[in-house]
Amino acid sequence: MGECATVRLCLPSLADDDPLFSKKMKLLSARNLSSELQLRQGLTKEEVLIGLGRLVQCARILLLDEVEIYFVEGDDSGPFSPRNEIESLNLVLSAIDDSFEGTLGVAVEVLKFLKEATLEMIGKIGAQCTDYVISEESNSTVEELLIKWGKEQGVKTKLRIFHFEGAGRGAVASRDLDVGDIALEIPASLIICEELVYESEMFGILKNLDGISSETMMLLWTMKERHNPDSRFKVYFDTLPTEFRTGLSFGIHALAALEGTMLFEELVQAKEHLRHQYDALCPALCADHPNVFQSDMYTWDQFVWACELWYSNSMKIVFSDGKLRTCLVPIAGFLNHSLYPHVTRYGKVDPASDSLRLILSRPCDRGEQCFLSYGSFPSSHLVTFYGFLPRDMHRNPYDVIPLDFEDLVDKEGDQGPGVDGGWSTHMVRGTWLSKSKAPPNYGLPPPLLDHLRSRAVLEAALSIFSPMLEGIGADDIDRDGASWDVKLALDFVDLQRKIISSVVASSSLALQSLGPL
């Protein structure tokens, strides 16, 4: 770029209240990265690209979350995860877009070059993501009616609904969509949230109950409203399945298949918690106010249905009044989750249009399934609350197993691993996700080993995981004839076993490398 004029790009600086502030600052300074890029005149294209690369590295660090930062290895400059990469490149893109304003002449060409290069990087994300196969276009009247109803009330969509093998319904781009395009726009007035309870007759009763949360009120409202033939949201309720298949509906055989895993305990506890909640609320409401809470609508099964609906379909959204509400969003609820999402941030109502806009953070070609990110969840959370494991489950960077071995180490008079590295929690994940499986870490996370007593930590990890590996899952279950919940449980067990075996193998190697005491 012979005549490159000065161009200045600025990423937002790291917020003081970022809980990972000091760790991120440490990484930035160790790598000598700045959130500002100045390109002076006369640089070559290669030099401009090097500058862009450094800015992307900085953005990656700024946007690391607590799991990602824990697994950052040595001087690895990323990418760290698909989520982190998509958001980092979009951050850089908006810095480039901001710089166009007031820029003239050759500098505009440089910015265009930078923008193209960034879009090219974004375009490469997701190339390895595993496709879901369309089983049929949804020509069922319920989904069509919902879209028609939505459009009449201001919904704008560039998506069509299809059925996918193993994922239910999903949304497909009806034309090529680029970064920044709005795939779906839902007026705030169509979003189902707590205000509807406040307007309903049941609120007069619920507001007198001590400590009842708006989420619980919404559960109770949904249980009744789904049967209301005059509901404003009838077309939406008609699209909902009569039964959800999440971990909360696992039968005894699926639970038996999970024995020895942490998910077994989690599911049993989650179910018990819901049972307590149900027992404390529904029978009394039905007995005291039978005209409002009809007992046939407030059975245990219907309560679990409503919980599963809210866990698997709700979104947390900030409205124009600044308040965060947990909501059900008709039509947006058809979008499935991916580790390589097209839409990453959809948590805020756009104040100008008073609508929820699903804006693309990476392109989605016509005919391609358009995915959201539901969040950075481990597979146990996805099974419990959503009832699936993604096709790319082996690549899930958030599929971590927390390590609670302070007890084990502390008892021996050690100061414990949480203290010296400034890490309050330790965790492991499949070591195949590591970029350096070589000594000294053998694919284990650096903070786990990066302190004085790594021998004690490795021994503690082995003492936790080796017995777990032996006790995990029953081998004698016939997968072919199994029901949906047993199959899902077995897939989960296989994945856990793989993760734990990899950690045991790496810990043993790392321990051997330390040699005898």
Ligand X SMILES: C[S@@+](CC[C@H](N)C(=O)[O-])C[C@H]1O[C@@H](n2cnc3c(N)ncnc32)[C@H](O)[C@@H]1O
Chain positions contacting ligand X, by CB under 6 A: 166-170, 312-313, 333-334, 336-338, 386-388, 390
Q: Which is nearer to ligand X, 249 or 353 (CB)?
A: 249
Q: Which is nearer to ligand X, 24 or 357 (CB)?
A: 357
Q: Which is nearer to ligand X, 81 or 312 (CB)?
A: 312
Q: Which two tokens stand for residue 294?
A: 């009809």
Provide, rounded to whole angstroms, the least separation between the CB of residue 271 and ligand X: 17
Q: How far apart are CA 253 and CA 482, in angstroms?
A: 9
Phi/psi class of residue 368: alpha, beta or left (left: φ > 0; alpha: ψ in -120 to 50)? beta
Measuring CA to CA, how many Å separate 167 from each of 127, 134, 135? 20, 10, 10
Q: Which is nearer to ligand X, 88 or 239 (CB)?
A: 239
Q: How far apart are CA 23 and CA 424, in angstroms?
A: 13
Q: Which two tokens stand for residue 444?
A: 């284990």
Q: Which is nearer to ligand X, 143 or 414 (CB)?
A: 143
Q: Which of 319, 305, 309, 308 is nearest to 190 (CA)?
A: 319
In 235-329, which ranges are E strands?
314-318, 324-328
Provide, rounded to whole angstroms, the least separation between the CB of residue 396 and ligand X: 11
Exposed/middle/buried for residue 3 (C-beta within 10 Å: 0-12, 13-18, 19+): exposed
Provide, rounded to whole angstroms, the least separation between the CB of residue 486 and ligand X: 17
Provide, rounded to whole angstroms, the least separation between the CB of residue 185 and ligand X: 18
Q: Which is nearer to ligand X, 31 or 169 (CB)?
A: 169
Provide, rounded to whole angstroms, the least separation between the CB of residue 170 and ligand X: 6
Provide the sign of the torsion angle of the four alpha carbons 491, 492, 497, 499, taken in this order.
Answer: positive
Enumerate residues 6+ apart whose C-beta is below 8 A from 30: none
Amino acid making up residue 371: F
Q: Which two tokens stand for residue 64?
A: 């690391």
Provide, rounded to whole angstroms, the least separation between the CB of residue 329 and ligand X: 9
Q: Which is nearer to ligand X, 100 or 484 (CB)?
A: 484
Q: How far apart are CA 321 and CA 312, in angstroms?
A: 26
Residue whose beta carbon is closest to ligand X? 168
Provide, rounded to whole angstroms, the least separation between the CB of residue 313 and ligand X: 4
Q: Which is nearer to ligand X, 70 or 244 (CB)?
A: 244
- CB 504 within 8 Å of CB 445: no
Half-sphere exposure of 491 (CA within 13 A, CB side): 21
Q: Which is nearer to ligand X, 390 or 446 (CB)?
A: 390
Provide, rounded to whole angstroms, the least separation between the CB of residue 237 and ligand X: 13
DSSP 8-state symbol, 71: T
Provide, rounded to whole angstroms, the least separation between the CB of residue 196 and ligand X: 19
DSSP 8-state symbol, 248: G
Q: Which is nearer to ligand X, 70 or 386 (CB)?
A: 386
Provide, rounded to whole angstroms, the least separation between the CB of residue 140 and ligand X: 11
Alpha-helix runs per DSSP H in 40-199:
45-62, 66-70, 82-100, 106-124, 141-152, 195-198
Crossing angle between the packed helical segments 45-62 and 106-124, to the nearest 10 degrees: 60
Over 196-220, what HEC string results?
Answer: HHHCCCCHHHHCCCCCCCHHHHHHH
DSSP, collapsed to helix, strand or coil, labels residue 274 as helix
Enumerate residues 6+ apart whose C-beta is below 8 A from 275: 300
Provide, rounded to whole angstroms, the least separation between the CB of residue 337 and ligand X: 4
- CB 331 within 8 Å of CB 155: yes
Residue 177 pairs in a beta bridge with 364
Q: Which is nearer to ligand X, 371 or 423 (CB)?
A: 371
> H or E element: which one contains 489?
helix 484-514
Q: Which is nearer to ligand X, 164 or 198 (CB)?
A: 164
Provide, rounded to whole angstroms, the least separation between the CB of residue 230 and ligand X: 24
